[in-house]
Chain A
Amino acid sequence: MEIDDDLLANSDAGTEDDDEFVELAPEQTSAMDGMDPEEFPYDVLALEQVVTLMVDIIKEVRNVVEIPATTTRILLNHFKWDKEKLIETYYESDPDRIFADAHLISPSRKVAIACSKREIKPRYSVKENGEYVCEICYASVPEQLMSGLECGHRFCISCWTHYLTTKIMDEGMGQTISCAAHNCDILVDDETVMKLLSDSHVKLKYQHLITNSFVECNRLLRWCPTPDCGHVIKGQYVSDKPVTCRCGHTFCFACGQNWHDPVKCSILRKWIKKCDDDSETSNWIAANTKECPKCRSIIEKDGGCNHMVCKKCRFDFCWVCLGPWEPHGSSWYNCNRYDEDEAKRARSAQEKSRAALQRYLFYCNRYMNHMQSLKLENKLYASVRDKMEEMQKHNMSWIEVQFLKKAVDVLCQCRQTLMHTYVFAFYLRKNNQSIIFETNQRDLEQATEQLSEYLEREITQEVLRDIKQKVQDKSRYCESRRNVLLKHVHEGYENELWEYLDNI
């Protein structure tokens, strides 16, 4: 796992490799191409920086209350990392009460217990030849290989390591690991944990566990949702703005979902819940095979492009609506607009619920479809990379061929936007503005499908120099259509032009 190693080795993660001419990882700097007039200020923190931030707060509090660091950390957690509140409560009420509430032994009492216990009973057995017997593995080991906490319980280092690893990896414990002895409440402090662990994965997981609640409790911090990424975004205030992690993932700072402009966080949350509740339908829609509407042979979708050509009967059709492709390229394209007529005619309850389902299926189908295409565009990055290499062999410079990668970036951004326009539209009540919105959506979708087709099919046939102009023109057009659509929706938000259907 490269990211993990980078984190621990403290290497310069994020700098680009000079030999890598065709860098296809998404851009690391630009968020969503500067759509917003004011930039949203945020930092990307590596795990160590989060730990440092946390340690600084702990230090600050310790300067005032003078208790051990691990105890302070747990206490701060108890107070949701509100240090002022902790300090205030600490001095205004009984500290012992606070410790009890946080399930901690007061540090002063802890020392007392440890001393008294040690006097009553030796906490480890001594062998005749001067070696100790570890009560966990029963091995006899020299003194320097035994370890323990202030309670006096001692076990061999390898058992300690094994014990901590089990607690961290199997039980997901990090906040409060106590001594390995039975009925001993003394907590293993962070420093001891780090000293006794050697495996970098376990160390990382421990750091993650102890920083997790710090991050989760803090409104200005958010984990990057990419699995195993471990970076944290630190915003200067809470806002539904796109942030891009060092791993390249762009997501919404307010809700953590993939960047979802133009739809609002709350509406998206509602939609995702609806899709989850209806996962059978969603899975069915997201399936990768369909029948050719003409000859019924099975067609598999292996790219993002929705213009399908049946290999058997050569029928051109649209993957989304299964209608003939021809009108999709013209002005009477209507694939994005739901026909409300049938719903209006519905009289009986049964007809109404059927119409409601039809309507949901219409939007869900298109949402899922762009999502699916977006996933499949990853393949496109690979084929475009081959093409770029080929072009470089034909005397085009590295900088001259970058337009291709840029075009795939634009394609992905458009699909991501389109995907969320269907969520927006699903909840939208029809009015004059919604009709303009649907027209914008149609134009963007049409242009996006054309760009998709260029990149997926025609690129392999055309003369190298000729395609450049075509692809560039089309991707610039897509970008402008996307901007028009987003700007219109944003203005609608500002002027409160959008009305939502609340009965769905």
Chain B
Amino acid sequence: MAGGLPRRIIKETQRLMAEPVPGIKAVPDEGNARYFHVIVEGPAESPFEGGTFKLELFLPEEYPMSAPKVRFMTKIYHPNIDKLGRICLDILKDKWSPALQIRTVLLSIQALLSAPNPDDPLENDVAEQWKVNEAQAIATAKQWTKMYATRG
């Protein structure tokens, strides 16, 4: 497969550029068509509202048989996202299906920001806080959003 980019990736990229997902920007890297620079806006009425979160997304050689690799670059206080920005999301792991797309992955990540799931945690301390004292956890998440995800 050296050099040639599968039709699937070309078409997906074209569509992603033509009809972008609201609140999400995904741009392929100039040097590597499998690497995307992603910016997700914090969803309204979530503790992440007002923040812009940078992510990286990479399509491995086996894509779409294997899931894309996605990681938050911006620090975020979330029970399903760890210190290194790795995301605990079923469709990125065992629930991946080759019929899913970059678009559906990004939408799911946006949904995860709207509805954190402390029962399936990746970052245990954060999840604990979220369960024991949700108000405090939300306050911290807001604070982090202001500190790390707001420009200027």
Contact flags (1/0) for B5-40 with A, using CB distance below 8 Å? 011100110000000000000000000000000000
> Is the pair B97, A182 in contact by a Cβ cutoff of 8 Å?
yes
| Nearest-neighbor residue (CB-CB) of B11 within chain A | A138
A180–B99 CA distance with the chains assembled, in angstroms: 7
Instruction: Name 5 interchain pairs, CB-CB below 8 A, sorted by A.
Output: A135-B99, A138-B11, A138-B12, A182-B97, A182-B104
Q: Would you list the 7 A-B pairs with minimal beta carbon distance, nearest first?
A: A182-B97, A166-B65, A136-B98, A138-B11, A135-B99, A138-B8, A181-B99
Which residues of chain B have a CB within 8 Å of any CB of chain A? Answer: 6-8, 11-12, 62, 64-66, 91, 95, 97-100, 104
> Is the pair A183, B95 in contact by a Cβ cutoff of 8 Å?
yes
A162–B99 CA distance with the chains assembled, in angstroms: 13
- Residues of chain A lying within 8 A (CB to CB) of residue B6: 137
Minimum Cβ distance to chain A for residue B61 (Å): 11
Minimum Cβ distance to chain B for residue A138 (Å): 5
> Is the pair A163, B65 in contact by a Cβ cutoff of 8 Å?
yes
> Is the pair B7, A182 in contact by a Cβ cutoff of 8 Å?
no
| Nearest-neighbor residue (CB-CB) of B100 within chain A | A182
Which residues of chain A have a CB within 8 Å of any CB of chain B? Answer: 135-139, 153, 155, 159, 162-163, 166, 170, 180-184
- Residues of chain B lying within 8 A (CB to CB) of residue A155: 98-99
A170–B60 CA distance with the chains assembled, in angstroms: 14
> Is the pair A182, B62 in contact by a Cβ cutoff of 8 Å?
no
A170–B98 CA distance with the chains assembled, in angstroms: 15
Question: Are A181 and B7 also in contact (CB < 8 A) when A162-B65, A166-B62, A170-B62 are?
Answer: no
Minimum Cβ distance to chain A for residue B12 (Å): 8
A183–B97 CA distance with the chains assembled, in angstroms: 8
| Nearest-neighbor residue (CB-CB) of A182 within chain B | B97
Question: Are A137 and B97 also in contact (CB < 8 A) when A163-B65, A182-B91 are?
Answer: no
- Residues of chain A lying within 8 A (CB to CB) of residue B95: 182-183
A113–B64 CA distance with the chains assembled, in angstroms: 27
- Residues of chain B lying within 8 A (CB to CB) of residue A163: 65, 98
A280–B51 CA distance with the chains assembled, in angstroms: 54
> Is the pair B7, A180 in contact by a Cβ cutoff of 8 Å?
no
Minimum Cβ distance to chain B for residue A205 (Å): 16
| Nearest-neighbor residue (CB-CB) of A155 within chain B | B99
| Nearest-neighbor residue (CB-CB) of A133 within chain B | B11
- Residues of chain B lying within 8 A (CB to CB) of residue A136: 8, 64, 98-99
> Is the pair B91, A139 in contact by a Cβ cutoff of 8 Å?
no
Instruction: Return the contact of A182 from the options B8, B11, B99 (Cβ within 8 A).
Output: B99
Other A-B pairs beyond A137-B8, A138-B11, 18, CB < 8 Å: A135-B99, A136-B8, A136-B64, A136-B98, A137-B7, A153-B99, A155-B99, A159-B98, A166-B62, A166-B66, A170-B65, A180-B98, A181-B97, A181-B99, A182-B91, A182-B97, A182-B99, A182-B104
A345–B58 CA distance with the chains assembled, in angstroms: 67
A166–B61 CA distance with the chains assembled, in angstroms: 12
- Residues of chain B lying within 8 A (CB to CB) of residue A170: 62, 65-66
Minimum Cβ distance to chain B for residue A480 (Å): 60
- Residues of chain B lying within 8 A (CB to CB) of residue A181: 97, 99
- Residues of chain B lying within 8 A (CB to CB) of residue A135: 99
- Residues of chain A lying within 8 A (CB to CB) of residue B11: 138
